[in-house]
Amino acid sequence: MSLKRIRLVMWKEFLQLRRDPLLLRAMFLMPILQLVFFGYVVAADVKNISIAVIDLDHSVASRQLEAEFASSDYFVITQHPATEAELQPLMDKGAVKAALVIPDGTSAALTRGEAAPIGVVVDGSESSSASIASGYAAQIVGEFNQRQIAASGMTIAAPGIDARIRVVFNPTLESINSMIPGLIAALLMISFGALMSQAVVKERESGTLEQMFVTPIKRNEYLIGKLTPYVVLAIAQVAVVAIIGMLWFKVPFYGSWWVVAVGLGLFLLTSVGLGLLISLVSHTRQQAQQTVMFLMIPQMVLSGFIFPVESMPAWIAPIANVIPLTHALVVLRGAFVKGSGFAALATPLWILAAFAVVIFGAAVVQMQRRLAE
């Protein structure tokens, strides 16, 4: 490997990128437009929100209330932690999106005709589903109260259960707070898909690739020199989106930049690898562009970027899991909104690492194979 030749390939790639009219649009103009556009989107209906029930009362009334939640379409009870302390890790991992806490003495208070406070805890990092979840919870508690009153023959004025809704992680439920971290990952995927997929096919079409491999330039020198400028641009783009998000849209950042860097780094490898694969497999630039479009739209829709995965039919969930963006979103939103660390985000990070190895590895193998024919 010769550093000099790698530098030469990088130099010519930077020159070409600078003159590429697609670059400014794809890398910097589109992100700013998307920021403004997605910054104000409010999401759709949510069903089957996974919820944890912490029943500290162990009474008929508490079981009735739990049954009300279980029978609604909105919630699926997936966990029964014994204490509130056990709830935090479940929320951090995203295993549950909401929790119902029925404190000891709820039944007794109801019998005495007093107001009985219960807790509804909602994960606000996905603000749209969170606001919907809290709305549903309030509604179910309201209906429960109505039924209790009817059964006991008490007056309307009877206080019943007082649902105290507490939203954790994103107390003001601003959709922008979870939208912008998501946008960082989504934009990286879109602009890289568009740029990378053109990269090699363009050189193959024009014959410059063939020309270079007759010279002393080696394939790995070409690959490194070719990809480095794109990685530099990716970092610049992430910085632009994050800075605008945090300064203009006042998105708070609670987590660790290391988590963001590792998550985005792995996701970048996946995106670059995918773009490169498309570029190697395609015969013309147009074909590459169409393949990108074909792959991007389902990823955007199914990853939970726009619509929460919870709002989709159950059979979609496995599909969402094989989309790298889904996991990148969990990492970025977790780090930005919840301040989650490596431990809490271990699963999505490992999944991203696996995607990076498989997809980028496949691209490198294809590179060696395709260019040998």
Partner 1 sequence: MSEALTGSPVNPDAAVSVRGLRKVFGKFAAVDGIDFDVRRGEVFGFLGPNGSGKTTTIRMLTSSITPTSGTISVLGEDAVKHPDRAKLRLGYMSQKFSLFEDLTVDENLRFYGGVYDLTAEQFAERRAYVLRMAGLEGRESELTRNLSVGWRQRLALGTATLHSPEIVFLDEPTSGVDPTARRRFWDLLYDLASNGVTLFVTTHYMDEAANCSRLAFMYRGRIIADGPPREIRESLLTERILDVSTGDADRSLTWLESADGVHEAYLSGASVHAVVEAGLSPETLTARLVAAGFADARVVPVDPTLEDVFVNLVSQQRGA
86 binds partner 1 (CB under 8 A): no
254 binds partner 1 (CB under 8 A): no
Please choose, out of 28-36, 172-180, 201-209, 229-237, the segment that lies near partner 1 by the rule CB under 8 A: 201-209
- What are φ and ψ of residue 254, in 5° steps? -100, -15
1 binds partner 1 (CB under 8 A): no
List the one residue from 10, 16, 95, 339 that touches partner 1 (CB under 8 A): 16
Measured from the Cβ of residue 228, the count of other Cβ atoms closer than 10 Å reads: 16
Please choose, out of 160-168, 193-201, 210-218, 255-263, the segment that lies near partner 1 by the rule CB under 8 A: 210-218
Please choose, out of 51-59, 154-162, 186-194, 209-217, the segment that lies near partner 1 by the rule CB under 8 A: 209-217
12 binds partner 1 (CB under 8 A): yes
Which residue's CB is nearer to partner 1, number 26 or number 187?
Answer: 26
Give the total residue count for the chain: 373
373 binds partner 1 (CB under 8 A): yes
19 binds partner 1 (CB under 8 A): yes
Which residue's CB is nearer to partner 1, number 189 or number 196?
Answer: 196
- What are φ and ψ of residue 102, in 5° steps? -105, 105
Q: Single out the residue of 328, 334, 185 nearest to residue 255, CA to CA.
A: 334
Please choose, out of 9-17, 192-200, 275-283, 287-295, the segment that lies near partner 1 by the rule CB under 8 A: 9-17
Least separation in angstroms between residue 23's CB and partner 1 is 11
207 binds partner 1 (CB under 8 A): yes
DSSP conformation class of 310: G
Contact pattern from residue 160 through residue 199 relative to partner 1, giving x for each residue in contact according to CB under 8 A and a dash for the rest: ----------------------------------------
Measured from the Cβ of residue 120, the count of other Cβ atoms closer than 10 Å reads: 22
**Amino acid at residue number 350:** W
Residue 94 tokens, joined? 């995203």
Residue by residue, DSSP assigns 15-48 as: HHHHT-HHHIIIIIIHHHHHHHHHTT--------
Measured from the Cβ of residue 306, the count of other Cβ atoms closer than 10 Å reads: 16
Q: How do strand 75-79 and strand 98-102 relate by DSSP bridges? A: unpaired
Least separation in angstroms between residue 235's CB and partner 1 is 23
Least separation in angstroms between residue 31's CB and partner 1 is 23
CA 192 to chain CA mean position, Å = 17
* Tally of helices (H runs) and strands (E runs) in the chain: 15, 5
Least separation in angstroms between residue 198's CB and partner 1 is 12
Are 354 and 145 within 8 A, CB to CB?
A: no
Contact pattern from residue 287 through residue 326 relative to partner 1, giving x for each residue in contact according to CB under 8 A and a dash for the rest: ----------------------------------------
Which residue's CB is nearer to partner 1, number 12 or number 285?
Answer: 12
Q: Is 164 helix (H, G, I), strand (E, B) or coil?
A: strand
- What are φ and ψ of residue 329, in 5° steps? -65, -45
How does 157-171 read in b/e, with b if 16+ C-beta sit within 10 Å? eeebbebebebbbbe
Contact footprint for partner 1 (CB under 8 A): 4-5, 8, 11-12, 15-16, 19-20, 206-208, 210-218, 372-373
